[in-house]
Amino acid sequence: MKKYIVIILVSAGFIVACDNKETKTDKSTSSIKLPYEASYSTDFTNNVSDSDLLTALNTYKYWESGDLKGLRSTMGDSMEVMAADGFKFKGRTDSLMKIWTTARDSMSSVKITMDVWLKNHSVKDSMDYVNVWYKEIDTFKTGRVDSAYYEDDNGFKNGKVVWYSSHKQHLK
C-alpha cells in the first residue's frame, strides 16, 4: 500500500502546536527566533477521532492480508496519492484500486510491524491526519524481498482516507 499512496504533511507528526515566528522556551518571558517559518501551518491538535485511527490502521491490515475489498472500503470516492517510489495519483479510487490490486497480486506475502502512530488535526483546513511509522517486509512471487521503514500520512474526510503520502527508508 505504501508504494502507491500520497504526500501531504512531511513529518506533521512532529508538529503539534506552536507559533510560526517564535516559540517560548519555557514559561518565562524569553523566546527563541526560529530560522524558518512554516509555509503550510504549524497549528495542529490531536483532536482526531479514534474511529479515524482505526480506519487508518485497518488500511495497513487489509494491505498486509491482501484484502483489497476491505482496503477499498476505507477510502473515499476519490484519492490523491504520493508514494515513496515516486508514484502519483489523483482521481477515482476505483481506478487506483486496479493499480494497487496488480501491485499486491505480485506479492506472496506482506508483513507490517507498526511502530507508532499520531493523530493530527489541522486547524488551518480542518483536516484530520493519522501519521504512522512502521516496518514492512514485502516478499514477491519472484522471490525478491523488499524491506523498509515507512512514515505515512493519511488524510481523512468524512471518516474515509482521501489523501496518502508515503516516505521510505530502505533497510539494506
Residue 44 identity (one-letter amino acid): F
Confidence (pLDDT) at 99: 97
- The pTM (predicted TM-score) of the whole model is 0.79
**Which pairs count as long-range contacts for 75-80, CB under 8 Å and 24+ apart, including other chains?**
75/160, 75/161, 75/162, 76/157, 76/158, 76/160, 76/161, 76/162, 78/162, 79/5, 79/6, 79/161, 79/162, 79/163, 79/164, 80/6, 80/162, 80/163, 80/164
| Residue 80 in grid coordinates | 490523491
* Residue 32 CA neighbour count, 13 Å, CB half: 7
Per-residue pLDDT of the chain (172 residues; tens, 9 = 90+): 443 333 333 333 333 333 444 443 334 446 899 999 888 888 899 999 999 999 999 999 999 999 999 999 999 999 999 999 999 999 999 999 999 999 999 999 999 999 999 999 999 989 999 999 999 999 999 999 999 999 999 999 999 999 999 999 998 7
Query: Which pLDDT belongs to residue 38?
Result: 87
pLDDT of residue 64: 98
CA distances from 97 to 33, 60, 118, 119, 122 (A): 46, 14, 26, 25, 27
Distance of CA 111 to the CA centre of its chain: 17
pLDDT at residue 15, rounded to an integer = 35
What integer pLDDT is reported at residue 42 of this predicted model? 86
What structural domains does the chain harbor? 2-20+42-170 (3.10.450.50)
